[in-house]
């Protein structure tokens, strides 16, 4: 059974923006090329990152790419009173020549998937609403917005590369990490001092370890107390992890990098959680429990600074505890214990209330992620949401009005909308939708949850930034990004292809959501080749009504004559526990079954040429491409795998063990789950053309994954094509290199699907 939904309302909204372009003469239309997609100015319009409301509520700040270089970010503002958008700080004015990044900063940016960005890549507001803090070139700068021109003051300088700066809540100090230690600078006096002094070698203070950055969505290792008197920090000891060597192959050299990479089944870091008092420098250590082989994914203070909470996750990730440590009597108690027969998904949905001893927390205990109000005694006061749909994220809490705001894809997982609920609700299934347009809404509330920023996009509308009151009324366009005659996408808009969304059924009856873009000049009486764009991994979805450069590549392929198709298989987040659970101990099997169900659906369509279906994926998508080709030989005309995992024993502990458990049993023998998930076990079945692509300095999915596959295929005398990128990491983020990747994909697919 299949159903199809074409986004008519979203398209109608888009047409309102694009009407001037529809009358454009055909001779003025430009052909969309890969070169133009990866060139500046960006076809999506201005890049919008880290939009924030000022504490004073008088302006909105955000990062925006320079017109001549969309990857170099400057700091911009929209002044609410003057109704004016302007650039506040240009990175080049502060630092004319880009500084060489430290190894730690390069790693941080690679983990955050911003390795291709430069300029001001992060910033923070002071609570007084007057100052802005930002790092640049390894030093820390403070901007004073009172008066004109804006004054920018340098707080730190020297050979050391200062990381992760944060302003104290009282606005007196700035903390940062330098040379693996936690430091602080007094803003008024300029005095700089170290709060820890033992950071060296394998011991790091206040820094997020590799696993935290890559897999836990935690990029920091320290947290200011609400009163600004203390800092909680994690001390990470990497010594239990055996050093390993990997090669980074550049164009002119080969570097041997010694790295303490936590391969699946091996040791992890060990933690200590400390609280340092700023004035005295005294450190008290918070007990983390008897078991030391754990993860600490989150740390958060109580609003009155009387206690500290931390989340303690078991090594097998089937138990997660929220632990409260109260300082007055050094007493600890578990506030929440989550348990699962598969795994626990981490989240950031924790909000302590000021007016009562309670907090808002999200849990999947009902089978879907929902919000709960829980007392500090650990007892659930009431569920706040309920239903056969999951909450995406807690967005804000207004205690004065007793309201909680959250995002969810209630009607369809392809969308993300903003909703509201009462903190005293007796009907958790009855929630109120606030956002109005179909598509994807990223929401950022102010501290009081009275106004919010909405970064909206859809497959027909590039990202827009607007300011709204809590009831959804738009107060101002901050970046309307209207695709008018001056917009970079204007010459390509007349041939923009609409995206269709629909569902089909998996073997067990589960609905599988898909998206499809039909080619230019589509005629049902013809048969077309298909470009299947796959990811398939548990942490990311392809079937979303959202704009992005990946979407532009799919637009290019559709305009080149392909039907572009993606399906979200079981195992993927965002559709409930029952939808994810089949992937447990079964990676590389259940996902392939669902992807092949999508292929069967394609073959049932009269306008699909069943002999010309190709597949492409990156990272987990590369792994899926290989497994689809090898488990279903002669189903596909060709496949492209970029940076694929091939042997899960070579991937990291937190990600891999979450889904596959330990790689060996008690006797040291490989487990069945890892054997079933190993690409190399199926390599001899490869019968279809394959293009294998990998960065030769990849520190996430190591280049070893591809060299093992190369050797296996060569041993079996199986032909394949190869493209490697010297010096490039997992994202292959070099400006020319990223374009080069997609050129190779385009030519390879054209050769096998259209010739």
Binned at pLDDT 50, 70 and 90, residue 40 comes out as confident
Which residues have C-beta within 8 Å of that of residue 149, sequence separation ≥ 6?
A: none
**Marked catalytic residue, from 325, 441, 496, 730:** 730
- The residue ranges of DSSP E strands in 471-625, in sequence order, are 474-479, 499-505, 511-517, 528-534, 563-567, 608-618
Mean pLDDT confidence for 554-580: 97
pLDDT for 560 beyond 60:
yes
Sign for the pseudo-dihedral over CA of 414, 416, 422, 424: positive
CA gap 110, 700 in Å, rounded: 9
Of the listed ranges 209-213, 246-250, 528-532, 749-753, the least confidently predicted one is 246-250
What is the CATH number assigned to the segment(s) 498-753?
3.40.50.1820
User: For residue 666, what pLDDT is reported?
Assistant: 85
Which residues have C-beta within 8 Å of that of residue 630, sequence separation ≥ 6?
A: 679, 682, 683, 685, 686
CA gap 751, 755 in Å, rounded: 5
pLDDT for 124 beyond 90:
yes
Token pair 């804000």 is found at 396
What is the CATH number assigned to the segment(s) 47-161?
2.20.25
CA gap 552, 39 in Å, rounded: 12
CA gap 310, 350 in Å, rounded: 11
Give per-residue pLDDT as tens, 721-736.
Answer: 999 999 999 999 988 9
Mean pLDDT of the chain: 93
Q: Using a pLDDT cut of 70, give the percent of the chain over it.
A: 96
pLDDT for 20 beyond 60:
no
Asked if residue 311 lies in contact with residue 300, where contact means CB atoms within 8 angstroms, the answer is: no
Q: How many Cα atoms sit within 13 Å of 287 on the Cβ side?
A: 11
Mean pLDDT confidence for 302-327: 98
- Ranked by mean pLDDT, which of 8-17, 140-149, 326-335 comes out on top? 326-335
CA gap 271, 298 in Å, rounded: 12
CATH 2.170.140.10 for the 194-346 domain, yes or no: no
Domain boundaries, the chain: 47-161, 194-346, 371-479, 498-753
Q: Which of 191, 238, 189 minimizes the C-alpha distance to 212?
A: 238
Of the listed ranges 77-81, 130-134, 674-678, the least confidently predicted one is 77-81
Q: Looking at the DSSP assignment, which residues form a beta bridge with residue 514?
A: 502, 567
User: For residue 111, what pLDDT is reported?
Assistant: 77
User: For residue 26, what pLDDT is reported?
Assistant: 39
CA gap 322, 343 in Å, rounded: 16
User: For residue 192, what pLDDT is reported?
Assistant: 96
**Marked catalytic residue, from 168, 230, 619, 706:** 619
| Burial (Cβ within 10 Å: 0-12, 13-18, ≥19) of residue 421 | buried
Mean pLDDT confidence for 580-608: 97
pLDDT for 11 beyond 50:
no
pLDDT for 47 beyond 80:
no
User: For residue 615, what pLDDT is reported?
Assistant: 98
> What are the two backbone dihedrals, phi and then psi, of residue 445, each rounded to the nearest 5 degrees?
-90, 160
| Burial (Cβ within 10 Å: 0-12, 13-18, ≥19) of residue 550 | middle
User: For residue 25, what pLDDT is reported?
Assistant: 43
User: For residue 28, what pLDDT is reported?
Assistant: 56
The H or E element spanning position 705 is: helix 704-715
In Å, what is the CA distance from 408 to each residue of 71, 425, 427, 574? 30, 18, 17, 9
Is the whole model's pTM more than 0.85, yes or no?
A: yes
User: For residue 105, what pLDDT is reported?
Assistant: 86
Helix axes 735-753, 549-559, angle to 10 degrees: 30
Q: Using a pLDDT cut of 90, give the percent of the chain over it.
A: 83
Active site residue 698: yes
Asked if residue 574 lies in contact with residue 413, where contact means CB atoms within 8 angstroms, the answer is: yes
Of the listed ranges 16-20, 42-46, 623-627, the least confidently predicted one is 16-20
Strands 721-725 and 690-695: parallel
* Token pair recorded at residue 448: 């009081």
Mean pLDDT confidence for 418-427: 98
Mean pLDDT confidence for 239-254: 93
Mean pLDDT confidence for 437-445: 96
Q: Which of 476, 487, 485, 484 minimizes the C-alpha distance to 85?
A: 476
**Marked catalytic residue, from 139, 162, 594, 698:** 698
Higher pLDDT, 10 or 451: 451
CA gap 381, 371 in Å, rounded: 11
Token pair 């548990």 is found at 538
* Token pair recorded at residue 149: 């021109």
> What are the two backbone dihedrals, phi and then psi, of residue 105, each rounded to the nearest 5 degrees?
-70, -40
* Token pair recorded at residue 634: 């002669």
């Amino acid at each position: 059974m299949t159903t199809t939904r074409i986004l008519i309302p979203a398209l109608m909204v888009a047409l309102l923006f694009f009407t001037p372009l529809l009358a454009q003469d055909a001779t003025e239309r430009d052909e969309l090329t890969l070169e133009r997609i990866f060139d500046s100015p960006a076809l999506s319009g201005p890049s919008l990152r880290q939009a924030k409301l000022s504490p004073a509520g008088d302006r909105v700040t955000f990062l925006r790419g320079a017109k001549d270089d969309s990857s170099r970010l400057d700091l911009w503002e929209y002044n609410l009173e003057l109704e004016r958008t302007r650039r506040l700080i240009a990175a080049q004015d502060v630092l004319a020549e880009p500084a060489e990044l430290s190894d730690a900063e390069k790693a941080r940016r690679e983990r955050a998937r911003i390795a291709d960005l430069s300029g001001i890549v992060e910033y923070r507001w002071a609570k007084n609403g007057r100052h802005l803090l930002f790092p640049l070139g390894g030093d820390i700068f403070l901007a004073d917005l009172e008066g004109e021109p804006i004054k920018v003051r340098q707080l730190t300088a020297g050979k050391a590369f200062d990381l992760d700066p944060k302003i104290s809540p009282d606005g007196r100090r700035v903390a940062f990490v330098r040379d693996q230690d936690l430091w602080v600078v007094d803003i008024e006096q300029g005095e700089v001092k170290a709060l820890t002094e033992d950071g060296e070698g394998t011991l790091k203070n206040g820094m997020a370890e590799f696993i935290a950055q890559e897999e836990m969505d935690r990029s920091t290792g320290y947290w200011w107390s609400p009163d600004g008197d203390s800092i909680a920090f994690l001390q990470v000891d990497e010594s239990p992890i055996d050093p390993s060597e990997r090669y980074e192959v550049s164009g002119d050299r080969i570097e041997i990098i010694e790295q303490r990479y936590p391969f699946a089944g091996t040791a992890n870091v060990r933690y200590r959680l400390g609280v340092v008092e700023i004035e005295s420098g005294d450190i008290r250590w918070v007990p983390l429990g008897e078991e030391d082989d754990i993860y600490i994914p989150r740390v958060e203070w109580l609003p009155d600074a009387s206690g500290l909470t931390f989340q303690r996750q078991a090594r097998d990730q089937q138990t997660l505890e929220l632990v409260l440590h109260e300082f007055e009597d050094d007493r600890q108690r578990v506030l929440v214990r989550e348990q699962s027969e598969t795994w626990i998904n981490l989240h950031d949905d924790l909000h302590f209330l000021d007016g009562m001893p309670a907090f808002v927390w999200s849990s999947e205990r009902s089978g879907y992620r929902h919000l709960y109000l829980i007392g500090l005694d650990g007892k659930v006061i009431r569920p706040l949401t309920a239903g056969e749909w999951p909450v995406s994220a807690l967005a804000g809490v207004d205690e004065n009005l007793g309201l909680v705001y959250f995002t969810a894809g209630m009607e369809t997982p392809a969308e993300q909308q903003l909703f509201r609920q009462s903190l005293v609700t007796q009907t958790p299934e009855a929630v109120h939708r606030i956002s109005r347009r179909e598509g994807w809404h990223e929401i950022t509330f102010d501290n009081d949850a009275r106004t919010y920023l909405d970064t909206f996009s859809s497959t027909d509308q590039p990202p827009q930034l607007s300011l709204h009151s809590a009831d959804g009324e738009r107060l101002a366009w901050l970046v309307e990004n209207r695709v008018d005659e001056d917009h970079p996408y204007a010459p390509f808009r007349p041939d923009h292809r609409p995206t269709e969304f629909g569902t089909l059924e998996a073997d067990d009856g589960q609905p599988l959501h898909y998206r499809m873009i039909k080619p230019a000049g589509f005629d049902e009486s013809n048969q077309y080749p298909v470009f299947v764009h796959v990811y398939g991994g548990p942490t990311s979805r392809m079937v979303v009504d959202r704009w992005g450069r990946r979407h532009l590549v799919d637009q290019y392929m559709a305009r080149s004559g392909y039907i572009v198709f993606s399906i979200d298989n079981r195992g993927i987040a965002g559709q409930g526990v029952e939808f994810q659970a089949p992937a447990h101990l079964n990676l590389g099997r259940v996902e392939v079954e669902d992807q092949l169900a999508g292929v069967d659906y394609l073959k049932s369509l009269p306008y699909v040429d069943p002999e010309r279906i190709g597949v492409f994926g990156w990272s987990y998508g590369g792994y899926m491409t290989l497994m689809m080709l090898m488990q279903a030989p002669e189903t596909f005309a060709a496949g492209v795998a970029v940076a694929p995992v091939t042997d899960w024993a070579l991937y990291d502990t937190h990600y891999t063990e979450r889904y596959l458990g330990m790689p060996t049993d008690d006797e040291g023998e490989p487990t069945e789950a890892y054997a079933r998930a190993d690409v190399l076990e199926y390599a001899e079945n490869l019968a279809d053309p394959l293009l294998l692509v990998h960065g030769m300095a990849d520190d996430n999915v190591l280049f070893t994954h591809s060299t093992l596959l190369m050797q296996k295929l060569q041993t079996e005398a199986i032909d394949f094509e190869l493209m490697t990128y010297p010096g490039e990491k997992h994202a292959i983020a070099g400006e020319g290199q990223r374009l080069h990747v997609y050129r190779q994909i385009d030519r390879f697919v054209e050769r096998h699907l259209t010739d």
